[in-house]
Structure 1
Amino acid sequence: MPGHGRGWLPLIGLTALLGSGVALALPSVLGRTVDTIVAKDNIATWLTIAGGLVLLGIACDLVDSFATTAAVAGTAARLRHQLVRRVLAGGPDGVREHDTGDLVSRVSGSAVDAARAGPAKVTAFAAAIPPAGSLVLLALIDPWLAAAFFIGVLLVIAVLWLFARRTAAVSLAYAETQGRIASVLTEALAGIRTIAAAGTASAEKRRVLYLLPELHRQGLETWRVLARSGAQAAVVGPLVLVSVLAVGGLQLAAGRITPGDLFAAAQYAVLGAGLGSLTGVLGELARAKAGLRRIDLGIEPVAHGTLSLPPGPGRLTFDKVAAEGLRIELEIQGGSTVAVVGSGGAGKSVFAELAARLRDPKEGQILLDGIPLQALSSQALRAAVGCAFERPTLVGATVGEAISSGSVNPVRTLAATHATRAHDFISRLPAGYGTPLLEAPMSGGERQRLGLARAWRAERLLVLDDATSSLDTATELKINQALANDPARRTKLVVTHRAATAARADLVLWLHRGRVRGFAPHERLWQDPAYRKAFR
């Protein structure tokens, strides 16, 4: 198992082996103690040895408990770090097929289950040693005792095998249902204002809790499997003990074994019957197996190259590109402002995601100043390309952090907020740029301005996906003026539904059903009635 918990596994293994050794040695020592008591010879020595073994067993249990807890905690933390990094490194393309709530469920819950795999395997291996050793030691006492023990243990093993098979399937189904409930709940929380405004809270509650009976059924099935296996083990275990004691009694009566041997044989029979206690360990292994399957997300990190951009104006080339129903071959000159328009489903957002490398094309390639986007290093790509969206997600502890995206350059942050007219309302907040993000009341338009300010640091290409739709006309006009008077002469792609915004652009890219219907100035395209319908 990966993770910081690995370092504890040798200690867990050592204490488990010592504990198994104690479990095997104690019956023989106690048997010898019984014989010495009967013979009234050297009693203190054997009582001392027995007491020492008991204390060693207790110490092993305490150390094992602590080490197992530490191993699971460390491994779970490491797995969560790995999962979060993998999810974030996968980008929008990587997580597109996963529900947000389900991903959170896998990171928070399944990672803990998976972290138990290492300690559970070690514990299961060590727990199998006493019964196996008991068989050998019983054979040394008397072969007939070993035969009686072996037949009973076969029944216990059959019970455990059936339990392991049933538990693995039920544990996976339970975890997957939890993930589905988390997904629906996340959707509801994201739209909580809409739900409140529409008065549909009751309907949403039913939708969120729709799978609860299924989760309840699977939980009951888990307990049924455990109870059934426990009952079977409770029947089979005493049979092992009775069979060994019956054979041992006959051998004692025949004078082939001593009373101490019979006592030791009874203790070894109890160890064999104790295979049933492995149900708890096997249950953990089953849940760990389900957790391991759940954290195997199949998300590959976005591959980046190592190249940097050469000097250039920001020329953007779509070379025979195909992706999600969009097919396009186009070159956009550096420094120009291009409005991207089209009716719903035309492919505008896909085009914007491709240009910003938030998704990769299935065919062809996209080049910025002659360099394929996929060949650029991550740092070079994100320094060159900035994105702003219709509903920006703001991250960071403060308003300033939400804009700077880790940058420590306050001059650039101020320049961005002034250009996007975000500085005006930020300066009115209680602590200005230091206002905690969760305590900063913002309208949709103000959030969009923060999103625009965050993207403004891009050096060569700005992609604005309907990023001004919530702004009032006066503010949008000022921002458009800032874009038009951009001293860096960056290339700008503006996805819009407003004819006025398209009219201010140098060129308009008109998309229709995933194809380029027109690429020309707004005035020329406006003559086409079908183009005018794209703005309705």
Structure 2
Amino acid sequence: MSEQETAKARGDGSLRLLAATAARVRGRLAVVAVLLVARVGATLAAPALLAAAVEAALNRADVTWPVTALGLLAVGGGTLEVALAVLGVSTVGVAGVWLQTRTVRHLLALGPRSPLSPGEATARVMQGAPGAAGLPITVAGSVVSLVGSVIALVVLWSIDWRSGLVFTIALPVAVLIARRFIGGATTAHARYLRAQSGIAARLLSALAGARTIQAAGTVSAEVDRVLRSLPEMSESGRELWRLQRGAVWQFKLLTPLTQVAVLMVAGLSVTGGRIAPAQLLAVVGYLGIAIGALGQIDVLLEIAQVRAGTARLAEVLDHPEPADGTRPGPVPSGEVVFRDVTVTRDGEPVLRNLCLDIPDGTAVALVGRSGAGKSLAAALIGRLADPDGGEVTVGGVPVADLRLDDLRRDVVYAFDRPALPGTTVHDAIAYGRPGLSREDVVSAALAARADAFVRRLPEGYDTPLDRAPMSGGERQRLGLARALARPARVYVLDDATSGLDMVTEAEVSEAITTRLTGRTRLVVAHRAATAARCDLVAWLESGRVRAFAPHAELWRDPDYRAVFGRDSAETATATGTGAGADTEADTDADARVRTRDESMQEAAHA
């Protein structure tokens, strides 16, 4: 797609989103529009009433009705302003809540499919939502004001066509200035927002690794990395100010010149007897209303800024959510089958025609070098990702056919770096099942070997999470407890015990095996000891299953032992499966392989 086509697509997405936001508050907008029309009507009536009052006074006639009407207009105008202020704030609030809720819900529905980092997504929501929520009111006010200016111009023509003609000549110049400004300002502000989002995203990642940065003594380097787009942001800001400055002085010059020219022509019409002196007051009044069409620079700047922010927000919403299935759960069994599954990332296949049958109630370890596709294959079962080809079934039912809510009840995950939403430790374990009893929460914590450290917290299970300092292993055990608290057909443990020492891992594995007897377990394993405790091992290599057999049988293959690197020697001692074939050279080679594939491991976990 060319740059021009991309810009057009972004513009179309921005307009669709703004139209949807306006539609959400269309009832309130209709009331606002009525009030705005009433205000413009009062504004248009004022010059005519003032001229009538002056003319009556000059002719020594009764001025009661025009003066009374002017007083009523003043009171009514003040009332309209108050009503517009209150209704405007509430309309913007309702639109903002709807737009932010819709965006956040969409981002959460995308989950790992989101093309944006958390920092970038947060920045786009904060940049785009407030302006998009307020723009419908701004546009409504601007449109009604513009209509009022057009009506004033028509009245100006009816009073003195020469004055109306002079004003009309200035309009094409104003349109040309406005068009050039809004196009340039939209582009400049989009660059500004892009640079600002980059800083926010990099800052969030740096704060997440603040301890590592401090320990490595790389604070200065990280500051440079986080702020590397600051020059672009500064230049975009300066460009925006240059555009605004140019448009402002052009409008500020055009406006008084137009006023002077119109008043001069109107004055000549008075001296020439073509209009009455009182009508000159009407010309002045209607000229003031019509000139508003030339003074929309602030509104144009706001529109340019909002369009840029909304276009970036629309890109997020245009990314499709996973299609929901129609078949209700639960599935009849925990059998998991991969049939010719292919997944491509960045143009490269990660899984290649993967075929794997996992019997119901079996514990299967997914093993392979970093980047082999273990975590990606595990993600397909619960539709945290979708294959580009092939099919995944649970209990004989294609997961794409199942309703997502039902699938998430049938397939439960525990991760190596679990997030712990909720207010308290109890909430974190019961997350997703708010009615879970304390007894069930404690039972799950006991199985995950988390109960002991939880009870040492100041308020036990009622300890607020922000006052419950935990190690990585303790967080993992809470994540495991959360998974174990949910009855499911299939449990996917994505390296969920990697933060535990070998003794604790053995205890947790034994407890999990006892608790989940008869349930299917898929364990993404990076430790040989973890794989050894499973019934079967699926050994992935280059996106395919190289072997599917018990760990003890596969352990005879030196290539399989090499997958675990230095861990293989420890496991040989712990499990008694070592064949004495490992050498120091093999171990060093494995370490080099792990170093080389470290970036691929991060991609697999994502």
Please, what TM-score do these two structures have when normalized by structure 1?
0.95
1:145 aligns with 2:163: yes
Out of 118, 128, 136, the residue aligned to residue 100 of structure 1 is 118
In the TM superposition, what whole-angstrom CA distance separates every residue of 1:143-188 from its partner, at most 9, and x where no partner exists? 2222122112333333323322222222322222222221111111
Give CA deviations for 1:324-380 in whole Å, capped at 9, x if unaligned: 321211101111111111111111111111123211111111111111112222332
Deviation at 1:309, TM superposition (A): 4.5
- SS of the residue 1:339 aligns to: strand
Deviation at 1:249, TM superposition (A): 1.9
Partners of 2:283 and 2:515 in 1: CA distance: 90
Q: Which residue of 2 aligns with 1:2?
A: 21
Residues in 2 aligned to 1:311 and 1:82: alpha-carbon distance in whole angstroms: 31
Aligned to 1:346: 372
Does residue 483 of structure 2 align to residue 483 of structure 1? no
Report % sequence identity. Answer: 39
Cα RMSD, aligned residues only: 1.9
1:485 is paired with a residue whose SS is helix
Contact 1:91 1:301 in 2 (8 A): no
- Counterpart of 1:460 in structure 2 is 489
Q: Could you tell me which residue of structure 2 aligns to residue 436 of structure 1?
A: 464
Instruction: Find the aligned partners of 1:155 and 1:448 in 2 and give their Cα distance.
Output: 66
Looking at structure 2, the residues matched to 154 and 367 of structure 1 have their Cα atoms a distance apart, in angstroms, of 65
Residue identity in the other structure for 1:24: L
In the aligned structure 1, how far is the partner of 2:118 from the partner of 2:31? 38
CA shift in 2, pair 1:427/1:250, >3 Å = same
Whole-angstrom CA distance in 2 between matches of 1:381 and 1:504: 27
Amino acid at match of 1:477: A
- Asked if 1:91 is matched to 2:111, the reply is yes
Does the 8 A contact of 1:238 with 1:273 survive in 2?
Answer: no
Residue number in structure 1 paired with 2:351: 326
2:86 alignment counterpart: 66
Look up the equivalent residue of 2:21 and give its one-letter code. Answer: P
Structure 2 residue aligned with 1:158, among 150, 154, 176? 176
Is contact 2:157-2:164 (8 Å) kept? yes
Alignment of 1:497 onto 2:526: yes
Tell me what 1:422 maps to.
450
Secondary structure (helix, strand or coil) at the match of 1:326 reads: strand
Query: What does residue 117 of structure 1 align with?
Result: 135
Alpha-carbon distance between aligned partners in 1 of 2:175 and 2:92, rounded to the nearest angstrom: 27
Match of 1:506 in 2: 535
Contact 1:339-1:494 at 8 Å conserved across structures: yes
Secondary structure of the 1:41 match is: coil
How far apart are the structure 1 equivalents of 2:168 and 2:408?
A: 67
The letter of the residue matching 1:2 is T
* Alignment of structure 1 residues 119-518 onto 2, 5 Å: 119-296=137-314, 297=316, 298-309=318-329, 312-324=332-344, 325-327=350-352, 328-407=354-433, 408-410=435-437, 411-456=439-484, 457-486=486-515, 488-518=517-547
Cα pair 1:240 1:272 within 8 Å, conserved: no
Contact 1:309 1:369 in 2 (8 A): no
Partner of 1:20: 40
Deviation at residue 313 of structure 1 after TM alignment:
4.5
Aligned equivalents of 2:30 and 2:331: distance in 1?
56
1:534 aligns with 2:560: no
Is the Cα–Cα contact under 8 Å of residues 355 and 544 in structure 2 kept in the other structure? Answer: no
Task: Provide the C-alpha distance between the structure 2 equivalents of 1:487 and 1:210, rounded to a whole number of angstroms.
Answer: 50
Letter of the structure 2 residue corresponding to residue 281 of structure 1? V
Following TM superposition, by how much is the alpha carbon of 1:5 offset from its aligned partner in structure 2, in angstroms?
A: 4.0
The 10-residue stretch of structure 1 (70-79 or 29-38) with the greater mean CA deviation from structure 2: 29-38
Distance 1:25 1:160, change over 3 A: farther
The residue identity in structure 2 corresponding to 1:212 is L
- Once the two structures are TM-superposed, the CA of residue 470 in structure 1 deviates from its matched residue by 0.9
Please, which of 52, 62, 85 is the counterpart of residue 42 of structure 1?
Answer: 62
Structure 2 vs 1, CA of residues 143 and 78 (structure 1 numbering), >3 Å: closer, same or farther? same
How many residue pairs end up in the alignment? 534
Residue pair 1:310, 1:369 contacting (<8 A) in 2 also: no
Is there any run of 5+ residues in structure 2 with no aligned partner, and where?
A: 1-19, 345-349, 566-606
* Letter of the 1:469 counterpart: S
Q: Secondary structure of the equivalent of 1:330?
A: strand
> 2:36 matched to 1:11?
no
CA distance in 2, matches of 1:284, 1:55: 31
Q: Quick check: 262-271 or 524-533, which moved more?
A: 262-271
Contact 2:255 2:295 in 1 (8 A): no
- SS, match of residue 244 in structure 1: helix
Q: Report the residue type matching 1:171 in the other structure.
A: H
**Aligned amino acid, residue 226 of structure 2:** V
| In 2: Cα distance, 1:65 partner to 1:226 partner | 27
Contact 1:389/1:448 (CA < 8 Å) preserved in 2?
Answer: yes
Distance 1:206 1:272 in 2: 52
- The verdict on how the C-alpha distance between 1:55 and 1:171 changes in structure 2, with shifts beyond 3 A counting, is farther
Shift of 1:37: 2.8
Answer whether contact 1:153 1:272 (CA < 8 A) is retained: no
Deviation at 1:487, TM superposition (A): 5.2
- Which amino acid letter does the alignment assign opposite residue 390 of structure 1? D
User: Quick check: 2:330–2:406 contact (8 Å CA) kept in 1?
Assistant: no
Maintained 8 Å contact 1:11/1:64: no
